[in-house]
Amino acid sequence: MPTEILMPALSPTMEEGTLAKWLVKEGDAVKSGDILAEIETDKATMEFEAVDEGVMGKILIAEGQSGVKVNTPIAVLLEDGEDASAAEAPAAKPDAKPTDTGAEPGPAEKGYGGPIGAPVAGEGSVKDAGGKDVGGKAAAPAPSKDGQRIFASPLARRIAADKGLDLSAITGSGPHGRIVKADVEAAKPGAKPAEAKADAPAAAAAPAAPAPAAAAAPKGLSTETVLKMYADRETEEVQLDGMRRTIAARLSEAKQTIPHFYLRRSAKLDALMAFRGTLNKQLEARGVKLSVNDFIIKACALALQQVPDANAVWAGDRILKLKPSDVAVAVAIEGGLFTPVLKDAHQKSLSALSAQMKDLAGRAKTKKLAPHEYQGGSFAISNLGMFGIENFDAVINPPHGAILAVGAGIPTPVVEGGEVVVRNVMSMTLSVDHRVIDGALGAQLLEAIVSHLENPIGMLA
């Protein structure tokens, strides 16, 4: 039976992507683990692997097509020996509606969906590589049990469909409870989940009363309004790619929903610069060169251990405290930015942090980071000092509890012991989520960061 290959969700935030390149063609035999395509997400270009064996029957989405929604069929996989004509997807009936299971549809596992011809849901028709409408609209909802998605291999799903088995009644023996071929073959038909009783209380069937309407978020000027304003001026329109749209959405959400407040401190860098120079001379033979940013990362990681209540994120209806110091660092790339996360940064040496940061930044610039490398963390650093920026306020990247904005180190006259001396002073601003960190706690965190930067030898202890 032909199987639709669906646009996968390659990260938790991915809603659509660009099919950058097909690495197989129609008629090619594929096996599990083969790379089928390269897909551009909102953050990176990632390889998409096959999870089934078979023959590529038909490519539905051409290379370079953007805005392909997650769970949209992108190709059809045939079983060995199946005729290529089976890859033609019949048009969905106009009155075909997805069954209401009571659970929201989830992305199909590894991007593979159910058999061709199953009812589909979603908007927008699917066209093949030649632009022909093949009728499909989107992926069918993944099976669910008690509102939770059921994980099963594509082969197990096909066997279950052939035998008339309900996957929700089968216990999986694969990794993380995944249902595999052996589980389905050993199952007996007939077991089905209990249906809702007809005499259930009317209140249970009635829709819940709507919550009081929240105040609508303010919206900016419409596209049409802005275009009219500049109709008599020479302009160039720049279409938003996935990354730019994601940045716009997340940062707009952050400023509208996170109660930011700001704490400002300066740190004298003279001792750090001298210590860095000494270390770099000693590490030169190993090809290691520490940057000021490496010291800042280490200082923040240690400070989060000293002030553990600030090592936290906002989790909707609770605060989630982290044990390790997972520090994200903003990296500017063409058209946007990444925030790769250095996990367990408090346990790593300065040279290890430096090497890892160089690797992550290099792959960020080519969009080769995997999702687990830029997701997570409780704290972020944004350093614009290398651009000569003296100070600025950064926007918190949810669900982080805080972000440190770092400015340039500038020779500044300061008073020490009743005398005016010139010191290399760096300005910092800590943007804090007031739901997670209160003012006094944020002040303690910033004090710990400054203390480490002004006494850098202690970071080696």
Active site residues: 434
Summarize the chain as % helix, strand, coil (round to 5): 30, 25, 45
CA pair distance 366, 380, nearest whole angstrom: 21
Burial group, residue 409, by CB count within 10 angstroms (0-12, 13-18, 19+): buried
CA pair distance 380, 378, nearest whole angstrom: 7
Residue 336, CA atoms < 13 Å, CB-side half-sphere: 20
Q: Looking at residue 197, what DSSP letter applies? A: P
CA pair distance 202, 141, nearest whole angstrom: 28
β-pairing, 35-40 vs 29-30, is: unpaired
CA pair distance 439, 263, nearest whole angstrom: 8
CA pair distance 275, 118, nearest whole angstrom: 66
Burial group, residue 146, by CB count within 10 angstroms (0-12, 13-18, 19+): exposed
Q: Which residue do the tokens 């389905």 mark?
A: 184
Q: How far apart are the first and last CA of the chain?
A: 63
Burial group, residue 442, by CB count within 10 angstroms (0-12, 13-18, 19+): buried
